[in-house]
Amino acid sequence: MPKFIRLHDSDNVAIATAPLGVGDVVQLDRQPIRILDPIPSGHKFSICDIPAESAVLKYGQPIGIANQLISAGSHVHTQNLRDQHTVVAEITATSPPPDPTPLRRTFDGFVRPDGRVGTRNYVAVLSTVNCSATVCHKVVERFDAQRMLNWPNVDGVFAATHTTGCALQYNGRKHQMIGRTMAGYSDHPNVGGCLVIGLGCEQNTSGYLAEHHGIVPLYAPDGQPLTRDDGVPTLTMQTEGGSAETIDKAERLLEQILDRANRFERSSVDASALMIAVECGGSDGYSGITANPAIGVVSDRVVACGGTSIISETTELYGAEQLLCARSRTPQVAQKLIDLLHWWQQYVAHYGGQLDNNPSVGNKAGGLTTITEKSLGAVSKSGSTALEAVYDYAQRVTTKGLAVMDSPGFDPSSVTGKVAGGANLVLFSTGRGSCFGCKPTPVIKIASNNALFAHMRSDMDLNAGEAIDGKTITQLGDEFFEFALQVASGLPTASERNGFGDYEFIPWTVGPTL
């Protein structure tokens, strides 16, 4: 196999697929290029002289500007490349692609009363405030694997706790964000039952959640059965007499909630019920070449089935937003994305940062230099269909087709928002390695390269490194889509086998702690 890849005919860099040493000679279009610097696998080298202050091209797009003359065969990275991207102010026209050819597939899922379909059947214990977080986890501890055998149709009980819920402006932006997130989890298609536990004096009370987010509390007299199906059973520690009393009552309530959740059984449903979240974390120089575009094929297949695909991480769309804008269904959809990026620029600048601070130490060690380069690889997870809508963080997603959800690039917060929006399956690419799980939604982790897949085999589900060995992205994407249908039907993922997902509920909130 060649020791490098040139992604586009207009590119002036190539990506090493094996380490290259000083003095090595590679052939491009029958022209020899002598390597001048050590080039780690996944990193870029120049295939021609690149003058100072001129664009460095990858994917056929500029990923930054050369700080100095970069001679052919040189390592192109942080020492000689800087980001330089401008977000336009206004979108006046778009060119959405034709709709994909319809595809009919099925999977076995849990049909909920509102018609949505779960890929899992969990029971959730939600804290309204950090003050009730420990109590929530103590309740869950009482339902171990042996006890859960009493409810064979339930995948488990999990606690979704967080660090806020008080010391915030009542119904301000921060309060609304945590409320939306809790509402999305309490009413998620992968959740067959829910219990909410609060302290009692917080801002994020059950009354607030009922008034503004539709989480209607259901208070059951002690020792009495739940006689109504509407509403969410709710406890407050101050009312119940303290933590021990709350835990005991919660245990009794959960038995009833589990009995109800256990009534749901899997049945064959149309794949239009799929709502996938696409995510990348611990990215490297291969992520945008192998795993992310393969996920993009899965996104296209889900949309062709009539389902929904959600991409987020707004800070990792910066530099590639023009590609999504061009595909937007209307200029208004594109403009909403542009407005979000301008907000992010101002938000980050307020704290003395820049969006180009986003590539992590690990990203750079893996070969990614600028946020624009990272974004151009990340956006390929969205596939090729039209962008139908742009949503606020944790907002309920009702659109079919491709959607963007505003979120930071921090993986747990990004995925939490998309799950709150209704995602019932996550496809997560990684180049450096990730052990991420997310109850109640299964996470399919996809390695971008062969070395990672072999090294962290127990955490990886799929290997996109096969694209380097000769498989086409379309072949890989189709294989990954078939695997996604199996996972949606109940096949455990690596993170589920490892028991991960209990501590990855990390809502993103914006605003001061008062």
Tens of pLDDT, residues 400-415:
999 999 999 999 999 9
Q: Show Cβ contacts of residue 332 under 8 Å, excluding neighbours closer than 6 positions.
A: none
pLDDT of res. 162: 97
How many angstroms separate the CA atoms of 406 and 78, rounded? 28
Edge-to-edge strands of the sheet including 117-118? 117-118, 106-111, 266-270
How many angstroms separate the CA atoms of 332 and 125, rounded? 38
pLDDT of res. 223: 66
pLDDT of res. 485: 98
Q: DSSP letters along 29-82, please?
A: TTEEEE--S-B-TT-EEESS-B-TTSEEEETTEEEEEESS-B-TT-EESTTTEE
CATH topology of domain 4-82: 2.30.130
- How many C-beta neighbours within 10 Å does residue 13 have? 24
- For residue 234, the cross-strand partners are 196
Task: Provide the CA 239 distance to its chain's centre, in angstroms.
Answer: 37
Two structure tokens written together for 1:
């196999």
Residues of the chain under the 70 pLDDT cut: 1, 223
Two structure tokens written together for 240:
């119940």
CA dihedral over 204, 116, 400, 445, signed as positive or negative: positive
pLDDT of res. 207: 94
Q: How far is CA 474 from CA 138, 222, 285, 297, 478, in A?
A: 46, 57, 20, 6, 6
How many angstroms separate the CA atoms of 383 and 26, rounded? 32
Q: Show Cβ contacts of residue 346 under 8 Å, excluding neighbours closer than 6 positions.
A: none
For the whole model, what pTM was predicted? 0.95
CATH number listed for the domain at residues 122-263: 3.40.1400.10
Which residue's entry shows tokens 């595809």?
103
In the DSSP assignment, the letter for residue 311 is E
pLDDT of res. 117: 98
Is the N-terminal amide bond of 440 cis, ω within 30° of 0? yes
How many angstroms separate the CA atoms of 48 and 208, rounded? 62
The strand pair at 217-218 and 232-236 is best described as: parallel
3-state secondary structure 368-422: CCCHHHHHHHHHHHHCCCCEEEEECCCCCCCCCEEEEECCCCCHHHHHHHHHHCC
Specify whether the CB–CB gap between 418 and 407 falls below 8 A: yes
pLDDT of res. 1: 62
- For residue 232, the cross-strand partners are 217
Is the N-terminal amide bond of 408 cis, ω within 30° of 0? no
How many angstroms separate the CA atoms of 59 and 325, rounded? 17
